[in-house]
Structure 1
Amino acid sequence: MSTAPSDRTTSGTAFHLSTDALPGTPPPLPTDRSWSSDRRRTAIARLNLSVPARQALSDRQLGAGRTVLDYGCGRGDDVAALERLGCAVTGWDPYYLSDAPARPADVVLLTYVLNVVEDPGERRETLRRAWDLAQDLLVVSARLTWERRKVKGEEFGDGILTSRRTFQYLYGAGELRAYVADATRAPAVSAAPGVVYAFKDNAARMQYLAQRIVPDADWLASADTASALASVVDYLERRGRHPCIDEVPRLTAELLAQFAPGKLQQLTRDSADAVKVSEGTRRSTLNTLLYLAVELFNGRGPFSSLPHAVQLDVRAFFDSYKEACQRADRLLLKLRDDAYVRSAMNGSVAGKLTPTALYAHRRAVDRIPVVLRLYEHCASIAVGRPDTWTVVKLRHQGRAVSWLDYPEFDTDPHPRIHSSYTVDLRTLESSHITYAASQNRPLLHRKHEFLAPDDPDRPRYQRLTASEVKAGLYEYPHLIGTEQGWEAELVRCGRELRGHRLVRRRTAG
């Protein structure tokens, strides 16, 4: 864990073990607020990149040409790992690298620093210093309240005095984003649970949001005129509109430079599948509405402030920017209507509907109604979507989103849950449950129901479900929700699983 700046003026001297203490005797508890923890003890050694650094790398915020400062870098393991990845990175730490200069950088990482600062005023000042050093982006990470059970200690001040006599302040997931936004006076976005981005440039923030909602698709390789034309046709079918010249890869543009713009559009339109183009238009229209609805959370700007690709989508699919915004606003209002949300769940072509919620696989989320996609995106912007998840659960009464992780979904006919991360959108309180050590984990049945109708794996999963129903394995649904209950029913029905096939159980001997 990283440490925070040590140039304190009101925190007093650092707390250390007394040399007179008896062997094995814990140091005495601090008796007043002048106590200051020995923060260097919170700096842990890492073999891999920290979660926040991995997230920023995955989000393409640490790309080539950008300088990075790890402010409060602890032992410097993230610095070393990012150097190996080719990043122009430096680190500063008040204990381990106090002589290193803390120079401004394009991206500043403030990694698990705020947790260990016991003085609220210094905590905020540390965040402000990091923000002042960031030229483009500040990445702030902190431990969250649902980790309380991992922190051994007792209440002290506004946090916890640990058994090692260090300090920990645990943030609520929504609290961290709000805290960063208030201290920096910049709109903040939750990139993942406990990881918040604050952008200096509003255009960069909007581009990041657009990338989350409409990820850039790879262009098909172009080796000659025919393949270059095919790549533009593919774009038209996926996006529902012709690309602007500055959206086309340079090599593709050079191969097609012989065609006048009007002629090129005619050729691609004649070659494209009209049904795919229509579906692409529908998908891009809904994605644009989703983006504009999410953007309202931080104050929607003028048309010129939109990312270039979103501007082109608005021009292609709406009569005006005003009309697009009005439709996005109506979508947000519908999100508050329980009856409308339930109706959307009932009409969803993808996902499994239960009496309390809709469950959809990660691959099927873009096929559920746009109001439900907005539901999930609101939660992700507010508190962060976890990096690893398989199925999302959207509650239809109240507003709560759960991201459920089933790592073996594709290979296990009845995958066991590994963890769940849940956010209540009314309170922004979050909870995390891990089942890694459980001996009787919940598992999934009827896997095909979580997928979109045209998912290539759905027929195979559906055949397995049909054979299980025929064998009587679902006669007592209240018994089969956990590993032990499911295994008992397999024994009762004389069946066992070999991959995604149900066969008769072999008898001993």
Structure 2
Amino acid sequence: MQETWNSDRRRTAISRNTLSVPARQALADRQLIPARTILDYGCGRGGDVKSLERLDCRITGWDPYYSPQTPLAPSDVVLLTYVLNVIEDAADRRQTLKRAWELATTVLIVSARLTWEKSKVRGQEFGDGLLTSRQTFQHLFGSSELRNYVEEVTGARCVSAAPGIVYAFKDDAARLGYLAHRIVPDAEWLASGDTTSAIASLVDYVERRGRPPRVEEVPHPMAEQFAHLKPGELRRLIRDSSDTEKVTAAGKRTTLSTLLFLAVELFNGRGPFSSLPFSVQLDVRSFFSSYKEACQRSDRLLLKIRDDTYIRGAMHASAVGKLTQTALYVHHRAIDQMPTVLRLYEHCASIAAGRPHDWTVAKLKHQGRAVSWLDYPEFGSDPHPRIASSYLVDLRTLETSHISYTDSTNRPLLHRKHEFLAPDDPDVPKYERLTQAELRAGLYERPHLIGTENGWETELIRCGRELRGHRLVRRVAD
């Protein structure tokens, strides 16, 4: 079959020395692994192909201008990276997506530039996009528009991995395996070189999962070390060596994580028990009387997201995060310690519209059901970090919005950093000492002024103070 593709689009291909954002996301999500064959469909100059080859991935790249000689064959994973947005003909755009979907046997990974990048693209309106001064075309997608478009063309239930990055899976097993990895990550096994260390690794697994593993879950070399032990002996070793309190606590965590997974699965379309990842099936059998009971409990959990009173109660009960009159703000290090219904709230937003790659604090609104991911890149080093960007998804409409503060001369900043973290976070004492010093100095007496850079600097001058790292000192006279 002869591929149709306007050759002028070659001008949009850029040279890459590092992996593109979509490829990095797919690597982090374990979609690009050495066991899978990968096709970069519309690879441009081949930067991702070269980088992934260095990571031992089995990848080929096809491009109508730079690599037209590459034979096209079905592959486990097909990358369609920033291709759809450069096609000016709507029918051609659709056909390209359909062809990429036909070539994918496990997952199609589609990425496109988004509407919030409009300020970076200068050009005249042309069709459903812009014609640039270089005579190239750009159709900028809305985040929800991209997901809806891929779903409509492929007929598959899609997941937004990040803003502008959509995964379309060929079957439910692959999709659910991905969701499970996001919500109930596979347990990491401790290294073991002999039977003693293998047993220690097994006990560690039980203390973190709350149940013993099936032999299919145990790494093969480790399973061989247990071959001489009878099942009863192995159970006795685990029972005698493990900490009962840790196992009980782990069981509660796994129960809640399983409910969270099943609720998110319903949000995105729930399948039969047999479609669940094997480890999740075992969790259901271990911690619930039946799959039906687990689904009923997760359904009740999902319904609670709509209840303003329940959500506010969960926010007040949360041991982590800063609660304001409008929202709960939680640092990414503490996000998994929120009550399960709030974790579900944030996960639903991330599955619908994609959690951005760079974010520091999640903001969950009391009412209206909207989640914002706020990026404070200097949170650890700056005593009052400045915001770099905000990405919001409204769960009622699935509409998204993005704000960049890169060019702002008076950015919002944070105070009382310890309140965003879990109480046992190692940085809390240092941040709390600074907050107490600022309170004593009178810096919080005018809260309406201190939320931005200029107002905060004015208050520092008024109080005769300045900051040296996370210490507040008296201001040196000019």
Tell me which interval the TM-score lies in, with the shorter structure as reference length.
over 0.9
State the 1:139 CA deviation.
0.7
Larger radius of gyration: 1
- Tell me the residue number matched to 2:450: 480
Q: Secondary structure at the match of 2:65?
A: coil
Alignment partner of 1:479: what SS? coil
* 2:289 is equivalent to residue 319 of structure 1: yes
1:256 Cα deviation from its structure 2 partner:
3.8
Deviation by residue 1:413-461 (Cα, 9 ceiling, x = unmatched): 2222121111112222212222233332221111111111222222222
Match of 2:186 among 216, 228, 235: 216
Matching of residue 493 in structure 1 with residue 463 in structure 2:
yes
Q: Offset of 1:6 from its aligned partner?
A: 6.0
Match of 1:82 among 52, 70, 73: 52
Distance in 2 between residues matched to 1:171 and 1:488, nearest whole Å: 41
Deviates more, 1:453-462 or 1:130-139: 453-462
Q: Give the Cα separation in 1 of the matches to 2:245 and 2:423.
A: 17
| Residue equivalent to 1:32 | none
- Counterpart in the other structure of 2:432: 462
- Whole-Å separation in 1 of the counterparts to 2:204 and 2:477: 55
Question: How many Å separate the matches in 2 of 1:505 and 1:245?
Answer: 65
Structure 2 partner of 1:203 = 173
Decide which of 387, 395, 408 is 1:425's aligned counterpart.
Answer: 395
Instruction: Select which of 101, 116, 125 maps to 2:95.
Output: 125
Alpha-carbon distance in 2 for matches of 1:127, 1:117: 11
1:327 Cα deviation (Å)? 0.7
| AA in 1 matched with 2:381 | T
Residue type of the alignment partner of 1:475: E
Distance change in 2, residues 1:50/1:492 (3 Å): same
**1:235 and 2:232 aligned:** no
Could you tell me how far apart the structure 1 residues matched to 2:261 and 2:107 are? Answer: 21
Residue type of the partner of 1:112? Answer: Y
| Structural mapping, 1:320-339, within 5 Å | 320-339=290-309
- Kindly indicate whether the alpha-carbon contact (under 8 Å) linking 2:10 and 2:44 is maintained by their aligned counterparts in 1: yes
Change (3 A) 1:474 1:106: same
* In structure 2, distance between residues paired with 1:64 and 1:126: 26
Secondary structure at the aligned position of 2:130 is classed as strand
What does residue 26 of structure 1 align with?
Answer: none
Deviation at 1:87, TM superposition (A): 1.8
Matched, 1:360 2:330: yes
- Which residues of 2 match residues 94-113 of structure 1 at below 5 A? 94-113=64-83
Structure 2 counterpart of 1:287: 257
| Cα displacement (A) at 1:503 | 2.5
The residue that corresponds to 1:7 in the other structure is 4
**1:248 Cα offset (Å):** 2.1
Q: Secondary structure at the match of 2:40?
A: strand
1:351 and 2:321 aligned = yes
Relative to 1, partners in 2 of residues 1:259 and 1:416: Cα closer, same or farther, differing over 3 Å? same
Instruction: Quote the offset at 1:258 in angstroms.
Output: 4.3
After TM superposition, the structure 1 = structure 2 runs for residues 8-27 of structure 1, keeping only pairs within 5 Å, are: none
Residue 60 of structure 1 aligns with an amino acid whose one-letter code is: R
75 and 170 in structure 1: CA distance in 2 versus 1, 3 angstrom threshold:
same
Structure-1-length-normalised TM-score: 0.89
Q: Helix, strand or coil for the counterpart of 1:478?
A: coil
Alpha-carbon distance between aligned partners in 1 of 2:463 and 2:242, rounded to the nearest angstrom: 52
SS at match of 2:202: helix
* Paired residue secondary structure (1:290): helix
- 1:438 aligned to 408, 422, 443, which one? 408
Displacement of 1:267 after TM fit? 3.0
Over the matched positions of the two proteins, sequence identity in percent amounts to 71
Q: Does 1:406 align with 2:376?
A: yes
Deviation at 1:154, TM superposition (A): 3.0
The structure 2 residue matched to 1:267, chosen from 220, 226, 237, is 237
Q: Which moved more, 1:421-430 or 1:188-197?
A: 421-430
| Structure-2 separation of matches of 1:165 and 1:183 | 28
Query: Given that residues 311 and 366 in structure 2 are in contact (C-alpha distance below 8 angstroms), is that contact kept between their aligned partners in structure 1?
Result: yes
Which amino acid in 2 is paired with 1:360? V
Q: CA separation in 1, counterparts of 2:196 and 2:73?
A: 50
Q: How does 1:134-145 map to 2 (within 5 A)?
A: 134-145=104-115
Aligned counterparts of 2:417 and 2:241: Cα–Cα separation in 1: 37
SS in 2 for 1:387: coil
Identify the match of residue 63 of structure 1 among 33, 40, 48: 33
Q: Is the 8 A contact 2:75 2:105 kept in 1?
A: yes
**Structure 1 residues 44, 259: closer, same or farther in 2, change over 3 A?**
same
The residue number in structure 1 matching 2:277 is 307
Distance (whole Å) between structure 1 residues aligned to residue 432 and residue 391 of structure 2: 28
Query: How big is the shift at 1:221?
Result: 2.2
Judge conservation of contact 1:358–1:394 (CA < 8 Å) in 2: yes
- Asked whether the 8 Å contact 1:146–1:430 carries over to 2, the reply is no
Deviation track 1:107-162 (CA, whole Å, cap 9, x = no partner) reads: 11111111111222211111010111112211111111222222212332222223
When normalised by structure 2's length, the TM-score is 0.95
Runs of 5+ consecutive residues of structure 1 not aligned to the other structure: 9-13, 15-36
Deviating more after overlay: 124-133 vs 436-445 = 436-445
Q: 2:160 aligns with which of 172, 176, 190?
A: 190
Quick one: distance in 2 between partners of 1:65 and 1:226? 31
Q: Work out which of the residue numbers 350, 354, 358 in structure 2 matches 1:380.
A: 350
Partner residue in 2 for 1:170: 140
Whole-Å separation in 1 of the counterparts to 2:262 and 2:183: 10
Q: Distance in 2 between matches of 1:479 and 1:42?
A: 45
CA distance in 2, matches of 1:251, 1:497: 54
Asked if 1 retains the 8 angstrom alpha-carbon contact of 2:39 and 2:61, the reply is yes
> Is the contact made by 1:177 and 1:196 (CA closer than 8 Å) also made in structure 2?
yes
CA RMSD of aligned residues (A): 1.9
Aligned residues: 477
The residue aligned with 1:25 is: none
Q: Deviations over 1:22-66 (max 9, x none)?
A: xxxxxxxxxxxxxxx932222222222111111111111111132
Residues 187 and 209 in structure 2, CA contact (< 8 A), matched pair in contact too: no
Who is 1:249 aligned against?
219
Q: Partner residue of 1:33?
A: none
Most deviating of 225-234 and 346-355: 225-234
